[in-house]
Structure 1
Amino acid sequence: MKKYFLSVAILFSLLLGQQATVFAQKEFKILSYNVLKGLQQDSLIHKEYFEWVKAINPDIVAYQEMNGFTQKSLEQFAAQYSHPYAIQSKLEGFPVALSSKYPIVNVKKVVDNMWHAFIYAKINGIHIFVIHFSPFNLQKKQEEVRNVLAHAAEIPANEKILIMGDFNSVSKRDAAEYSEAMVKGMQEREKKEAHIRNLNNGQIDYSVIDAVEKAGFKDTFWLTNKKFVHSIPVVKYGKANPKRIDFMFANQAIAKEVKSSVIIHDEHTDNMSDHYPVLVTFGSQK
């Protein structure tokens, strides 16, 4: 009898080990998307989005600009693409939000000292920050990124951490894409609109993204791509001054698991929002 129970226990352990191995090797997809005021609360756009996102089948979706949603309506929205878990940062203004196939735990919703807000949560063993920085003020963005990085610094470095969203900032790695004509256009706009102060002494500033990389985070896009792809504007809003301001950053513990990182340009994303979404796929590299 003892031998029988011992054999069952060994078999059960082996099965668990096989399941763990399969799970470790399974691809895990995260989508980050600024959806322009909750996909403009347009039922036709929502319907198009549901079909589009179901085809991609992400495990997690990080949203910016989920305007007009309540907690209940957000849960109903996420259920349309089989995500039973969803949270958002606040009700008013421009909320950030998360939906997931898996439980969302240890949630923090930080509104203080943020232009919009950020969410921190842990999902499936990954520490996730969803951010949306100031669109108008460089100094505020610098304060916001310090705030987020200070929270991230509290997490042990050997744990998996991702920071994603609309940074309203550009990367030095993309500097060759930003022309003098674009800079002059930004200068002219700041002359006309006093509330916009994104330039630094009249020039493009890279300090926000520099700070994230200095803290040890990797830009997932350049881990798997060799050619620049912009995240704004989409086709619907013209072709002027293409920029990459939507990012997903990974710390060293999870950067090694990045299999692909794409900014999705297709017939749907050309029109659903004013930003293109970022999709990152993770998986074992063994």
Structure 2
Amino acid sequence: MMRFFSPVLFFILFSFGYCLSAYAQQDITSLKVMTYNIWNGFDWGKDSTRQENLIQWVKEQKPDVLALQELCAYDVDKLKKDAAKWGHLYVQILKDKGYPTALTSKEPINLIEKNVDNFWHGLLHVQTYGIDFFVVHLSPSDVDIRLREAQKIKSRIQELSTNDYIILGDFNAHSPFDAYWLEARTTLKTKMANEKNGTYSNMRLGEFDYASMSEFLSIPAIDVSLGKADREVSFTFPTPALIGLYDQTEETILQNRVRIDYILASPTLSKTCIEVKIFNQGTPEKLSDHFPMMAVFRLNQ
């Protein structure tokens, strides 16, 4: 009996092993990287409905790596519970006060730096999938502060010994690549010019500012949206979730739409980016005041 079933058993085990190997090989040929500003930690933990809806939506997108901003009222244990629901066992959070950033991953995360002293919200630098990730949330209030933050991050990246890095998050800044359509937004320019708060201003001499994003691009870091998404409809802020709040109406939401969330990659890594999605329609319209975005990279090819 054993002689009769041994070849069959061998064939079954061989086929099973081959399938596992093929699945594992398929699993690492692409890497889905997402960034999402979740808006005040779901009202500092009070909006459980929006929290669960966002978790379910993220789970459906199946990112391998997720950068998060505005994790207000979160600590590492709370983040672990949420991340487990979208399939990520590994997390790193910048801090547990104010407006933390974080990164979750399917693979182990190596912490490189948490810096909360020299940045408006802080800088989180980690490694996962063999890539250095810099999760940013730059100042929402002042062009000069953002520029100094960008210069500090630029200096850190240029000191790296690796060619694989990704900078992602809420930059609160305009890209020079968007100037060709942004400069025509006179209503938005007037609005921003009138929002000066003391010494803080999001305009430079009354004009849109592109300095901080230019610093990142000169690292060099590549905006992976280029050639993969229509930048005129790649707005990431604000969303219809803000209608009725802060004097926002449906009309002002449309007038104020801009791209301030980005995924930037090192030149070598950017060449492997095969797809970019800006999720600014449908379900995400009600999940946060920012829209998420995701880049897909081809690995091990």
Normalised to the residue count of structure 1, the TM-score between the two structures is 0.88
Residues in 1 aligned to 2:106 and 2:276: alpha-carbon distance in whole angstroms: 20
Unaligned 5+ segments in structure 1 are: 1-14
Q: 1:69 aligns with which of 69, 74, 84?
A: 74
User: Is the Cα contact below 8 Å between 1:86 and 1:99 reproduced in 2?
Assistant: yes
Shift of the 99–32 alpha-carbon distance from structure 1 to 2, 3 Å rule, reads same
**Deviation for aligned residue 1:284:** 4.7
What's the C-alpha RMSD, in Å, of the aligned pairs?
2.1
Q: CA deviation at 1:172?
A: 1.1
Displacement of 1:196 in angstroms is 3.5
Once the two structures are TM-superposed, the CA of residue 271 in structure 1 deviates from its matched residue by 0.8
- The whole-number CA distance in structure 2 between the counterparts of 1:226 and 1:73 is 36
Give the C-alpha shift of residue 198 in structure 1: 1.4
Aligned counterpart for 1:211 among listed residues 208, 215, 226: 215
The reply on whether 1:168 has 2:194 as its aligned counterpart is: no
What pairs with 1:112-261 in structure 2 (closer than 5 Å)?
Answer: 112-157=117-162, 159-178=163-182, 179-190=185-196, 193-194=197-198, 196-228=200-232, 229-237=234-242, 238-261=253-276
Alpha-carbon distance between aligned partners in 2 of 1:69 and 1:103, rounded to the nearest angstrom:
20
Equivalent pair of 2:115/2:123 in contact (CA under 8 Å): yes
Task: Report the alpha carbon displacement of residue 110 of structure 1 after superposing the two structures with TM.
Answer: 1.0
Counterparts of 2:200 and 2:159, CA distance in 1: 33
C-alpha change, 1:154 and 1:232, in structure 2 (3 Å) is: same
Cα offset, 1:285, TM superposition? 9.5
Q: Is the Cα–Cα contact under 8 Å of residues 225 and 231 in structure 2 kept in the other structure? A: no
1:265 aligns with 2:265: no
Percent identical among aligned pairs is 26
Partner of 2:249: none
1:23 positional shift: 5.5
| CA–CA separation in structure 2 for the residues paired with 1:46 and 1:103 | 25
Residues paired across the two proteins, number: 268
CA contact (8 A) 1:116 1:132 kept: yes
Q: 1:113 to 1:174 in 2, by over 3 A?
A: same
Counterpart position of 2:42: 39
**Alpha carbons of 1:21 and 1:79: their partners in 2 closer, same or farther (altered >3 Å)?**
closer
Q: Which sections of structure 2, spanning at least 5 residues, go unmatched?
A: 1-17, 243-252
Deviation at 1:249, TM superposition (A): 0.4
CA distance in 2, matches of 1:272, 1:171: 25
Separation of aligned partners in 1, 2:24 and 2:228: 25
Structure 1, 178-187 or 54-63: larger mean CA deviation: 178-187
SS at 2:195 equivalent:
helix
Structure 1 residues 239-248 or 225-234, which shifts more?
A: 225-234
* Kept in 2: contact 1:161–1:253 (CA 8 A): no
Are 1:100 and 2:100 an aligned pair?
Answer: no
SS state at 1:120 partner: strand
The one-character-per-residue Cα deviations of 1:81-103 (angstroms, maximum 9, x if unpaired) are 11111111011110000111000
- Inter-CA distance 129–227: structure 2 relative to 1 (3 Å threshold): closer
TM-superposition CA deviations, 1:111-133 (whole Å, max 9, x none)? 11100011101101011000000
| Mapped pair 1:27 → 2:30 | yes
SS for the counterpart of 1:204 is coil
Q: Residues 19 and 147 from structure 1, CA distance in 2 versus in 1: closer, same or farther, beyond 3 angstroms?
A: farther
Contact 1:24 1:284 in 2 (8 A): no
Q: Distance in 1 between matches of 2:230 and 2:115?
A: 35
CA distance change for structure 1 residues 24 and 149 in 2, over 3 Å: closer, same or farther?
A: farther
- Indicate the residue corresponding to 1:9 in structure 2: none
Give deviations 1:51-76, integer Å, cap 9, x for gaps. Answer: 21111000011001000011111111
Distance in 2 (CA, whole Å) between partners of 1:63 and 1:257 is 23
1:173-231: CA deviations, max 9, x gaps? 111332122211111222xx325311111111100111111111100111412442100
